[in-house]
Amino acid sequence: MNTLNIKLPYSYIIDYIDLDWHVLLFAVENGFVAKESVLRYAEGQIETEANPSQLLLDLAWEKDENSVYEYLIKLANLSSPEDEENLKEKFLFLLLNWIFENREKYGDPLEMVEIIYADFDYPEEISGFVRYMPPQYPLHSSKQENVKQLYENWEKFCEKKKKENKKS
């Protein structure tokens, strides 16, 4: 699911979505975050919880990456799971928004969209900015204008998802 092997920074993720142990487990299992993000989240939980569990305290001190994953599974199992499709949608948005915001750092951002489109099983909602898909608008007179339209569609998607994922 993460063919591009993009690791999203913890600080970026918390700007856009609410985290919980299930979101982090999904992110770690799919390679969207480094395990250090789990430790940062654990530290934040300790600061906000009146009586943090021993499991949470143990995780915060853990240095072994495999053990971090084990603790993450245990903590995620303590609460009801989140729908996997909902988790996929969150990370589809996060990845596409990350690439859009940092597009000048990538050689061909639209190619990255195509890869993500395949990784996430071809979601219809992003087909409007996948180059090889039939356009949802009349073709413009130049390739440059068509590419500009793809970027505009991409930006609209990101803005819409930012509103939908607005942190509580």
Q: Give me the DSSP letters along 27-67.
A: HHHTTSS-THHHHHHHHHHHHH-SS--HHHHHHHH---HHH
Buried b (16+ CB within 10 A) or exposed e, 98-120: bbbeeeeeeeebbebbbebbebb
In which residue are the tokens 């305290």 written?
57
On the question of pLDDT at 111 being above 80, the answer is yes
Tell me, what's the pLDDT at 77?
A: 96
How does residue 134 score in pLDDT terms, banded at 50, 70 and 90?
Answer: confident
pTM: 0.92
Q: Are 99 and 109 in contact (CB under 8 A)?
A: yes
133-144 per-residue burial string, b: 16 or more CB within 10 A, e: under 16: eeeeeeeeeeee
Instruction: Tell me the average pLDDT across 14-40.
Output: 96
Q: Where are the domains of the chain?
A: 21-76, 84-164
Q: What is the pLDDT of residue 138?
A: 66
CA distance 155 to 150: 9
Dihedral, CA of residue 87, residue 93, residue 96 and residue 97, to nearest 10: -130
